[in-house]
Each structure stands twice: as C-alpha cells, then as structure tokens.
Amino acid sequence: MTALLSVQGLRKAYPGVVANDDVSFTVGKGEVHALLGENGAGKSTLVKMVYGLVKPDEGQMIFNDGAYTPGSPHEARSTGIAMVFQHFSLFEALDVAENVALGMENPPPMRELAASIREVSETYGLPLDPSRLVGDLSAGERQRVEIIRCLLQDPKLLIMDEPTSVLTPQEVDILFETLRKLQAEGTSILYISHKLEEIRALCDGATILRLGKVVGSCDPREKSARELAEMMVGTELKSPAATRHELGDVALTLKNLSVNSSNPFGTSLKNVSFDVREGEVLGIGGVAGNGQDELLGALSGELKSVSDAVQLGGKPIGHLGPNQRRQLGVLAAPEERLGHAAAPDMSLVENAALSAWVRMGMVRNGFIDWAMARNFAEKVIDDYDVRTPGSANAARALSGGNLQKFVIGREILQKPNILIVNQPTWGVDASAAAAIRQAILDLAAGGAAVVCISQDLDELMEISNRFAALNEGRLSEPRPAQGLTIDEIGLMMGGAHGMEVAHIHEEEGAS
C-alpha cells in the first residue's frame, strides 16, 4: 500500500503542556487508520494539525508525495482532506441542502445540490432527505449531513473524530457500511476513537498515542481489545468486579413522570416509569439529547413534578427541591462537570460545600463552617485519588477525569440512599473510568439504589442489573441487563433513527 499521508516528527506545545511530541505515522491509500488513545492523549491536537486548524511547532507532513503545510482548513479541504467533527456545526433552522451549501466555497444552485445530495446519500447508503429541517433530525442524521457535506468534496482523506458517540448500534452499522464502501473506492480514513471493538472491526492499522507520544502501532485485527487497551493506558486494566448481593426493597419509584424541559431545545419527559431496588443499578441508555438531562433534573429536584410521580420508598417527593431531596438521601451527579456539577472558578472546598452542606451539616445558623468543608474536600481528594495540588485550587484547573472523580466522590461520601449519575465516565481516561465504575458498584453493594444514565453501552452492560433506554423523552420497559443482545438494545434506543420513520408511522396508523 502506498502512503497517502505521512506525518513525521510533529510537535505541538501549549503553555504548560506538550500536546504532541515527535509524532510520526503513515496512512496508506485506501487504508482505514485508527488513532487510538485516552482522553488527553493528544489525538484531537494531532488531527487539528492535519486539518490546518493548528500549526505544528516542529515536524512535517507529506501528502500525496508533496510537502503539505496547511495554513487553514480551507487549504486542507482543497488539498483533499475533509473532517467530520464530534460536535456538529449545523444550523437547526435551515434545511439539509442549505446547511450543505453553507459549507461550500461555490455552492451550485439549490436544485442541483439537492440532486447531488440525494445521489451521494443513495450511493453510500446514508438515507437523508435534503429538504428536511436540520432541527428535526436525530443526532445520527445530523452526522450524515456532515458526512455528505464532506463526501461532496470528493476527499482523498476523511478524518472522523469519535463518530459513533452519538449513534445507536444500528446507526453504527450503517456508518460502517458507508466507510467500507468509501474505502473500497480508494478513500483513506483517519478514524479517531477510544472504542476498541469498533476499531478492531473497522480499521486496517492503528497508531496508539499516550500523553502526546506514539507508544506503538499495530494491526488492530490481530490484537485483542484488552491488549489494545493496555497499550493505550500503559498499565494492566482492572475490570470492575461486581459482587453478588441480594436486592432489597423498592427504593425509588417513578410513576408516569412527565415534565417539560426548561430548555427550549430540550426534550420533555413523557410518562416515564420505573422502579429501582436497594442494591440495584438501573442503567439508562439512549442517544444524547433524548431526555437524559431532564431525567437527571427531575430526579435531583432541579425540575419539579407532580409529587406522586417521584416516590422515595412510597413517599411522594416530586414537589421537593434539590436540598430537601438531599436531606432524604437522594443525591445526583450531573453530566456537565464544569458549570453544573461544579462552579468552574470556585475552589474545591467551595465546590465540596456546593452539594454537601445540607447532608454533612456544614451550615449552622446560616453560617458555613469552612474548616469542615475543607476537611470534607480533602477527604474526597484522598479517597478518590483526585490529582490536584490542593483543595484551594479552582475546579476548572483540574483535568476532566480528576474533576469527575471529585464530583462522584463528593456524592458517594455523603452516603446516599439513592444516587443518580449522568455520564459518570464521559471524557474520563480508562483507569479513572474503571475507578468510578468500581465506586458505583461498591455503593450499590452497600445497599444504595443507583440510576446510571450513560451513552456508553459497554459501561451500562458492565455495571447494570437492569437496562432501559430513553428515546425522545420516553423510557422503554427496563429489562435485565444480562443476556440482552446488542440488537435488542439498539431497538430499545429507537433503532436506526430516520430509517424506520415510515415503519413507525404505519404502526401508529394501525393502532
């Protein structure tokens, strides 16, 4: 295989951190090449340099046998490199064709553009109607818009940054079909992910990054997922060990919970019902934006509901606010660490007091006992191995994984009866993620009920007793996690969004 892109000795340093150091790798023509690494390993910086968003301090790149020094993404695109970002840049109020036109240098007339969008979407098996409003599309469909936008440029190299994080398993299959078709036509793909099974299924070669350096390269099809993970992390991985224990009484019940989202672009919850027993972990999956934030809010008390809709051991608590629920032992750890679970510019001591003052008795007669808050913060830091110079540091100075450990530790150390977590290991490196999952399992083993909302299906299968999925604000019937197949999970999550629209409409018509 001849080389299409060859990267040699790239280095990029930011104040205080070397993001990439002496990174070299080669992507062959028609190769699907994986960039594998934990969060913070330097994958994003690396592809930003390839895409012309970031200029390297040292090193060179060779594209198609010529020197390649992109000064801007525009230059990268005209050279034949396209990129699909993890976060989409689409206008919700415009339709698909208009969004595609906005990304083009010289857009053709709308009618022609719509025709070519249709053609590309049929050729590559990416069903998409050019006249639909982007605001009405699912995350998977939005990603198709981005992909088609790239494909219309006829790229030689397509960069994809964590493309499957927003997809259902069925949608992942569709995406992989497309990528294989592209590969067969000779397009190279640079595929960034930390999901090992995907990489083993799709990629021909892999470069593994750790702390900004290349630590190895391999053919992922010849390695086990475990071997890959250990190369990525650099140490042996310990899988969380679930202890077998008896489940207790029903601790938390949701009965036909319906709440409106406080966010105009949010998803309202519709008739959500489930119950969780003491010692049980209920895993709630679903593609992002299907009501996860709202469910957490309704459980934490940030969103109030009819009092009967949320019951704690039979006692209605739907009308109570966050602090009243904390008093009853219902604690929560939201997804967004900075700005929701913690205040970015406040110290860890203040952030410890933020959610713990009620339950830990840090406030007497309205006055905060800061010594007590400091002790608690330091206990969280010690017990949960939060790496920080001290408790006086601002929350935003911590890395994502460390702050997440702090947030989870802060809630668990308050000895909750019920813990609700949303995306507990999002953006967290593998060893920290394992530690967090273990902490959640230990909490459940101690008799607490845990509701774990996550988009990481592997995680949910690993720690949940039962599994349910959120789809457009509705929750599927919870089922025992053991023995669930990936197909069943996918269907619970709503199947392939957009592909089954017609089918669903038929069903509704029939009933």
Partner 1 sequence: MIRLEKRPTPSQTWAYLTPLVAVVATMIAGGILFAFLDKDPVVAIRTIFWDPIFGEFAFYYRGQLLVKAGPLILIAIGLSLGFKAGIWNIGAEGQYIMGAIFGAAVGLAFYPMEARWLIFPLMILAGAFGGFLWAMIPGILKTRFNTNEILVSLLLVYVAESILASMSLGLLRNPEGAGFPGSRNLRQYESAANNELIAGWGMHWGVVAAFIAVIFAYILLSRHIMGFNIRLTGESPRAARFAGVNPNRLILFCLGLSGALAGLAGMFEVAGPAGQISIDFNVGYGFTAIIVAFLGRLHPIGILLAGMLMALTYIGGEAAQASLGLPAAAIQAFQGMLLFFLLAFDVLTNFRVRFGREAAV
426 forms part of the interface with partner 1 (CB under 8 A): no
Looking at beta carbons only, is 114 or 331 nearer to partner 1?
Answer: 331
Distance, CA of 276 to CA of 478 (rounded, Å): 10
326 forms part of the interface with partner 1 (CB under 8 A): yes
Looking at beta carbons only, is 237 or 371 nearer to partner 1?
Answer: 371
Looking at beta carbons only, is 191 or 357 nearer to partner 1?
Answer: 357
Angle at 398 between CA 325 and CA 14, to 5 degrees: 150
74 forms part of the interface with partner 1 (CB under 8 A): no
Looking at beta carbons only, is 96 or 310 nearer to partner 1?
Answer: 310
Looking at beta carbons only, is 55 or 238 nearer to partner 1?
Answer: 55
Specify the DSSP element, H or E, that contains 440. helix 430-445
User: Given the rule CB under 8 A, which of 32-40, 136-144, 249-257, 359-367 is the region that contacts partner 1?
Assistant: 359-367
Whether residue 49 contacts residue 209, with contact meaning beta carbons closer than 8 Å, is answered with no
322 forms part of the interface with partner 1 (CB under 8 A): yes
394 forms part of the interface with partner 1 (CB under 8 A): yes
Among 30, 56, 424, 490, indicate the residue that binds partner 1 (CB under 8 A).
56
Number of residues forming the site for partner 1 (CB under 8 A): 40
Distance, CA of 348 to CA of 23 (rounded, Å): 35
**Token duo for residue 344:** 């970015």
User: Given the rule CB under 8 A, which of 10-18, 248-256, 308-316, 492-500 is the region that contacts partner 1?
Assistant: 10-18
Per-residue interface string for the shown chain with partner 1, residues 92-111, x marking contact by CB under 8 A = --------------------
Q: How far is the CB of 343 from partner 1 (least distance, A)?
A: 4
Q: What is the 3-state secondary structure (H, E, C) of 475-491?
A: ECCCEECCCCCHHHHHH
Per-residue interface string for the shown chain with partner 1, residues 327-356, x marking contact by CB under 8 A = -----x-x-x--xxxxxxxx---x--xxx-
Q: Which of 407, 415, 412, 424 is nearest to 463 (CA)?
A: 424
Where do the DSSP E strands lie in 100-228? 157-161, 188-193, 205-210, 213-218
| 344 conformational bin, left if phi > 0, alpha if psi -120 to 50, beta if neither | alpha
φ/ψ of 476, rounded to 5, equals -75, 165
User: Given the rule CB under 8 A, which of 102-110, 244-252, 294-302, 439-447 is the region that contacts partner 1?
Assistant: 294-302
Check the CA dihedral 203-205-208-212 and report its sign: negative
Looking at beta carbons only, is 28 or 322 nearer to partner 1?
Answer: 322
Q: For the chain, how far is it from start to end, CA to CA, in angstroms?
A: 56
Distance, CA of 360 to CA of 356 (rounded, Å): 6
Specify the DSSP element, H or E, that contains 474. strand 474-475
Whether residue 281 contacts residue 450, with contact meaning beta carbons closer than 8 Å, is answered with yes
Q: How far is the CB of 468 from partner 1 (least distance, A)?
A: 24
Looking at beta carbons only, is 346 or 461 nearer to partner 1?
Answer: 346
Which positions touch partner 1 (CB under 8 A)? Answer: 12, 15-16, 54-57, 300-302, 321-324, 326, 332, 334, 336, 339-346, 350, 353-355, 357-358, 363, 366-368, 370, 394, 396-397
